[in-house]
Structure 1
Amino acid sequence: MQVNFELAHRQDIPTILGMMERFYQIDGYPFREAKSRHNLNLFLSNPELGRFWLIRVADEVAGYIVLAYGFSFEYGGRDAFIDEFFIEAPYRDRGIGRQTIEFVAEAAVQLGVHAIHLEVENHNDKGNRLYARQGFEGKERAMLTKWLLT
């Protein structure tokens, strides 16, 4: 299956918002359309924040993946976080996830990224297997979050 990746643009925001809402519904996360629209405009207007790719199969949008930049002394400099990764239901279990992770890893190297991080729900067995096969490793520590601005 031919999978293509293209950088998202502001005119893609309505399509992206629909996918985000479906993605958040999977695990019952609250979806705040106005906040997501604001953040998409900010992210897509500032390439120094990272990259946002649409995943396409036969000219149809099949999903998206977001690579957000950070910096880490532990990981050697610029690192990045796969902040969101969503594939529409009809396109799952077709190898698109593997192809997407491979693409992002190659692109990240070209962008000077030393390490990629991601979060995956414990109950997401398919996701956990995919990421392990792609070389992601768990740590003997937990990622903690403190909300500052909402």
Structure 2
Amino acid sequence: MKVSLQSPSIESMPRLLELSKQMHDHEALSFDVEHVTSSFSYLIGNPAHGDVFLIALDQDGEQEIIGYVVLCYSFSIELGGQIAVIDQIFLSKDWRRQGVGSHVLPSIEAQANSRNCHAVILEVNIGNSGAREFYEQFDYMPRRQHCIMAKRLPR
């Protein structure tokens, strides 16, 4: 099994959107295909703001796109400068707990390091103990007493 991160192409956009829909359904989030397509297109066209990667699995000469990662770039005084934010990371249901994430996370960190990021941050559902334990294996630490809050602005 060989796992790699690939930049999406026009041909792979339908698969990326399919995976995004699966992620939204899994997280019980509303899915607006125009909004998601526009967001992916913006990041793909403006790499200073972030990167979109497909998670590709090569097995027995066959390649399958089994997930994706959205890595956005920001700045943190507390963390010492530019940071990477794993905005979304998703694997198809059949590939969870198969060791894929253990290949993907170091690649994401290497990408962040190549962009001179000082840290990588991510959000995990407090009730998702499996995901929390996975990230803790890679030295991600929960920030006690922190609550992420969001507000969508009108457009």
Name the TM tier (shorter chain): over 0.9
* Identity over aligned pairs, percent: 25
Please give the TM-score of this superposition, normalised by the length of structure 2: 0.91
* Equivalent residue number for residue 152 of structure 2: 147
| In the alignment, structure 1 residue 69 sits paired with structure 2 residue 63 | no
CA distance in 2, matches of 1:42, 1:14: 16
Aligned-residue Cα RMSD (Å) equals: 1.3
Counting only pairs closer than 5 Å after superposition, residues 97-108 of structure 1 correspond to structure 2 as 97-108=101-112
Q: Is the 8 A contact 2:74 2:85 kept in 1?
A: yes
How far the C-alpha of 1:52 sits from its partner, in A, is 1.0
The offset of 1:135, in angstroms, is 1.0
Which 4+ stretches in 1 moved above 6 angstroms? none
CA distance in 2, matches of 1:100, 1:48: 21
Q: Does 1:95 align with 2:99?
A: yes
Name the structure with the higher helix share: 1
CA distance in 1 between counterparts of 2:76 and 2:105 reads 21
Matched, 1:55 2:59: no
Residue number among 104, 113, 118 corresponding to 1:114 in the alignment: 118
Q: Normalized against structure 1, the TM-score is what?
A: 0.94
Give the match for residue 43 of structure 2.
43
Give 1:92 shift. 1.4
User: Which residue number in structure 2 is paired with residue 85 of structure 1?
Assistant: 89
Gaps of 5+ in 2: none
Compared with structure 1, are the counterparts of its residues 13 and 149 closer, same or farther at alpha carbon in structure 2 (3 Å cutoff)? Answer: farther
How many residue pairs are counted as aligned between the two chains? Answer: 150
Deviation for aligned residue 1:110: 1.3
Distance in structure 2 (CA, Å) of the matches to 1:51 and 1:76 = 21
Amino acid at match of 2:36: S
Q: Which runs of 5+ in 1 are unaligned?
A: none
Shift of 1:51: 1.2
